[in-house]
Amino acid sequence: MELEFLGTNAGVPSLQRNVTSMALRMFEERRTFWLFDCGEATQHQILRSSLKLSKLEKIFITHLHGDHIFGLPGLLSSRAYQGGTTKLTVYGPPGIKQYIDVSLTLSQSRIEYELEVVEHAGGLVYEDEDIAVESLLLDHRIDSYGYRITEKDKPGSLDLKRLAEYGLKPGPAYGRLKRGESIDLENGMTLHPSDVLGAPKKGRTVTVLGDTRPCGNVLKLARDADLLVHEATFMDDLKESAYNYHHSTSVQAAEAAAAAGAKELILTHFSSRYKDMEHLKPLLEEAQSVFPKTLLAEELMLFPVRRHDEG
């Protein structure tokens, strides 16, 4: 599980950075990737990356400001031409379906794959046997949502040495034990999964926030997250401007990460006044003074989602 940023600028693109979009790569876990927001030129950024639109499974939109959705119609239209034939689901606030329908209808775009659009107002947005996605409303000029992606715990690894001691060889019995089923041995003994399985592998949690001022739902979404992605539109000397524009500063993002007990923080959604990574260094330094495990999002770089031990 890795994050790849396809755009890190706020409001408008610059020569150095594109507007907001990020990919959660889960190729080992489910052979797909998910997209969070889709600012203008996101599909161009994907062409510059190792991502393939044919592997895109889901898109989560945080809010309907243009720098987060103007790339969506083009990407949806192009996906089929890049080998995308499987179902694609878009999740977002009320209004996202109308935006997509009108854009595709007026442009007479033909979608050759199944496209589902799910509008939500927070709560449990998606769940399957491996992962759950929850959402809460944030504090922005329009309804903006954050997403908490929780990977479910996995069974521990089989102890091959102990299995051999019980006379078991690789085969269907291994799978049954891994699934939590007990099996009867030839000597009449019952072998329970706890006899041969190590400790469960704790799932990871990633929190991706839309644009927001500091608010209580940020802390709820980021509670004990392995990785928090938080906007940092301004340095802290412009916190009054951040408040007026319904955004956060780098220090406020770091304070949220510390208060929520997050393990790592990545800052993104930077004002274009900070022209390049050199100009962003002071923003990083002031955030690290509050929360040391802070990084700056850099476009087309991979950030692993690390599995942190409890405590």
Structure tokens that stand for 201 in this block: 């592998």
Q: How far apart are CA 307 and CA 225, in angstroms?
A: 10
- Beta bridge mates, 2: 25, 304
Sign for the pseudo-dihedral over CA of 232, 236, 237, 240: positive
Tell whether residue 44 is among the known ligand binding residues: no
Q: How far apart are CA 205 and CA 227, in angstroms?
A: 7
Using DSSP's 3-state secondary structure scheme, residue 60 falls into strand
Structure tokens that stand for 299 in this block: 């476009």
Is 67 an annotated catalytic residue?
A: yes
Tell whether residue 184 is among the known ligand binding residues: no
Structure tokens that stand for 286 in this block: 């002031």
Q: Which of 67, 101, 224, 226 is catalytic?
A: 67
Tell whether residue 65 is among the known ligand binding residues: yes
| Exposure letters 211-235 (e unless 16+ CB within 10 A, then b) | bbbbbebbbebbeebbbbbbbbbbb
Tell whether residue 140 is among the known ligand binding residues: yes
- Beta bridge mates, 135: 123, 147
**Any idea which residues carry the catalytic annotation?**
67
Task: List residues forming the annotated binding site for Zn(2+).
Answer: 63, 65, 67-68, 140, 211, 269
Q: From the annotation, which residues make up the binding site?
A: 63, 65, 67-68, 140, 211, 269
